[in-house]
Amino acid sequence: MATQSTIGLGTRAALLTAAALLLAGADMLPGSLALAQDGAATGVIAGRVTADQGEVRALRVKAHDTVHRIAYTVYTRDGRFRIYNLPPSTYDVSVVEEAFEAPALTVEVSPGATTIVDIALTALGAGPEEGAAARGATAQRNYGGASGDDRVAEIVDFDTLYPPHPARDIMLRSCFGCHGPAGFHRRGPRNERGWRAAVDRMFDVDGRVANMAPGVPQVTHDLVSVEEKELIIQYLTSLFGPGSEPRDLELDPLVRDEDALSEAVYIEYELNRGPQRRLANGAPPRGSIHSVFASLVEPGVIWVSGNGSNSIIRLDSRDPDFQRRTTEYWIDNPENINVTPHGIVEHRGRVYWVELTGDHFGELDPATGEIVRYPMPTKGAGPHSVWVDSRGSFWYTYFASAGRIGRFDLAARDFTEWEPLAGFSGYGIVVDRQDRVWAVGLHTPAIFMYNQETAAWRSYPLANPARRPAIDADGKIWAAHYFGNAISKIDPVTSAVTEYTLPLKDGNPYDVWPDADDNLWVENGIYNSLVRFDQVTNEFTYFPFPELAAHTPKLDRDAEGTLWFTLRGPSGPGVAALKPHGNVPAAREAAQ
């Protein structure tokens, strides 16, 4: 695999399949948990969960390895649970559910043995009903986002919360795609001056949205005219002005499918972070992390962009030693600011990223630790997402409304940028097997495709602006509607666009990514879940995160079929994995 390059998502899927076959030929167990390796005997924790009140249905049971600092979370079935393939160690065992208080139990796991742990829960009773914005704001805070209005709110439907109005039509077109269903009503109450300042910030070249450098606004008047902006200000003031009562969007109850969840396991890896350097503002960087990329060259290695930590992080998930498995590479820069590395990819053994606030394209040679940064042509636009084609060129988008999609030719050290649409704000990009480039934007209800052979752009209409495109094994393009509670599929052959609405209302799909069986996995923080979409049955299944009020911005998949992402745990930001069929005995895993 060392000679292979990362070449576009469609071809990357083929490389992942080849890598999985190589691993199987090397007597590795494709479904085995992180530390069940090298022939080491493992143990099992099993038991029963009961509650004094309420239903015990697919509740989350977490076993935290206190030595290796790795946690394993499974779901109960008929009130019972088993966590397979656990390395011998000391474990804290608990149930992670908002509705119950669980005792913290500590047990020892021995090789080849089953440790029995029965857990009796105390129901906490029903608290105030939470709506979409409250849940969304909590999830964003978990990831490092801004807080919202935490007052208890009246729960209403969308049309009651945002009555039909010309201003609402403008916001549906140009605002909700970024802010989502939790976007405005929990940011008040504000008077007209307050709402004017908040809306004007979106149009200010020095608005510093996401702490980006000044230069490009988040929204331009190409998309929202001065008159339309004034309508929005007056509309928000009338709804969420002084004296307005807090309201929020109604959500559906999440009923968990025990059969679907029974074999799944989440694995969370704590990161060993070194001492934090001081930045130019005198503060240490935040510890938050963002995107992940599962290495094709080093099985088990996950590359992470440290968007809050001004670093690139290497996690070796196959190394059981907590002190050793994390390597952090600080990004030196003359300004000594957090350059906010964001989108990240690996190509021919090196790691590349774009900097949301640093206006550079970065390159890391893991063999030497050397970092090279290339200045990008547009300043203050927030380089956001990056992917690589088969020719070794890197394609990227800007988060602000620069209107541009760019290419960096690594061999020539040369940038080229296009403007497919004035005010385009890119929020995701991928390259398919034909080297066609696909990108989506926060304010544009369409997906753009650039054909490198014909040098032509084409757009495919969507019901809502989307984010985070992906490509399945058949070459179909997928994108998530952060507002609209849906995912879209584009068929490049027929040009057909198909939309699939998630069954629980007012969700906020953030990312979508295919697994080894070509199911699509959708991040949905408002329902605190990853959601599996089965293309054969068109069914959605919700897999609640292993932490309460969690959120992750980006998914990836490795050669073993494991889904990887960042997730904040009790000890801080970490890296997590989901094995949808991983909680089974090792012998079964080897046969799958």
Domain count, the chain: 2
The pLDDT tens digits of the residues spanning 495-527 come to 999 999 999 999 999 999 999 999 999 999 999
Work out the pLDDT band at 6, boundaries 50, 70, 90: very low
DSSP-assigned letters across all residues of 486-513: EEEEE-TTT--EEEEE-SSTT--EEEEE
Q: Which positions ≥6 away from 226 have C-beta within 8 Å?
A: none
| Region 534-544 average pLDDT | 97
Output the pLDDT for position 276: 83
Q: Are 310 and 285 in contact (CB under 8 A)?
A: yes
Work out the pLDDT band at 343, boundaries 50, 70, 90: very high
Q: Are residues 93 and 144 in the same domain?
A: no
| Nearest Cα to Cα of residue 354 among 339, 370, 343 | 343
DSSP 325: S
Q: Are residues 98 and 141 in the same domain?
A: no
Work out the pLDDT band at 13, boundaries 50, 70, 90: low
Domain of residue 78, CATH code: 2.60.40.10
Whether residue 499 is contained in a domain is answered as no
Give the span between the Cα atoms of 350 and 161, in whole angstroms.
Answer: 49
pLDDT tops 80 at residue 347: yes
Give the span between the Cα atoms of 345 and 413, in whole angstroms.
Answer: 17
Output the pLDDT for position 188: 77
Q: Are residues 116 and 201 in the same domain?
A: no
E strands along 126-223, which residues? 154-156
Residue 174 backbone phi and psi in degrees, to 5: -125, -5
Please, what is the average pLDDT of the chain?
Answer: 90
Output the pLDDT for position 193: 97
Whether residue 38 is contained in a domain is answered as yes
Q: Which of 49-53, 77-81, 422-426 has the lowest mean pLDDT?
A: 422-426
DSSP-assigned letters across all residues of 23-81: HHHTT--TT--TT--TT---EEEEEEEEESSS---S-EEEEEETTTTEEEEEE-BTTEE
Output the pLDDT for position 217: 94
Output the pLDDT for position 36: 44
Task: Select from 219, 249, 279 the last residue of a domain.
Answer: 249
Output the pLDDT for position 1: 27
3-state class of 361 per DSSP? Answer: strand
The per-residue b/e assignment along 306-315, b for 16 or more CB within 10 angstroms, e otherwise, is bbbbbbbbbb
Q: Are residues 118 and 140 in the same domain?
A: no
Output the pLDDT for position 591: 41
Measured in whole angstroms, how far is the alpha carbon of residue 439 from the centre of its chain?
Answer: 17
Work out the pLDDT band at 40, boundaries 50, 70, 90: low
Q: Are 538 and 560 in contact (CB under 8 A)?
A: no
Percent over 70 (pLDDT), the chain:
90
Output the pLDDT for position 236: 97
The residue segments making up the domain with residue 110 are 31-123
Output the pLDDT for position 194: 96
CA atoms within 13 A on the CB side of 169: 4
Q: Which of 11-15, 101-105, 315-319 has the lowest mean pLDDT?
A: 11-15
Output the pLDDT for position 138: 63
Q: Are residues 141 and 94 in the same domain?
A: no
| Region 20-32 average pLDDT | 36
| Nearest Cα to Cα of residue 408 among 426, 442, 385 | 385
Percent over 90 (pLDDT), the chain:
81
| Region 107-112 average pLDDT | 96
Q: Are residues 145 and 218 in the same domain?
A: yes
Task: Select from 85, 101, 123 the last residue of a domain.
Answer: 123
| Region 246-273 average pLDDT | 95
| Region 249-265 average pLDDT | 94
Whether residue 49 is contained in a domain is answered as yes
Q: Which residue has the tokens 């757009």?
A: 459
Q: Are residues 137 and 112 in the same domain?
A: no
Return the higher-pLDDT residue of 27 and 480. Answer: 480
Whether residue 225 is contained in a domain is answered as yes
Work out the pLDDT band at 208, boundaries 50, 70, 90: confident
Work out the pLDDT band at 20, boundaries 50, 70, 90: very low
Whether residue 417 is contained in a domain is answered as no
Task: Select from 123, 140, 168 the last residue of a domain.
Answer: 123
Asked if the peptide bond before residue 189 counts as cis, ω within 30 degrees of 0, the response is: yes
| Region 137-162 average pLDDT | 72
pLDDT tops 50 at residue 262: yes
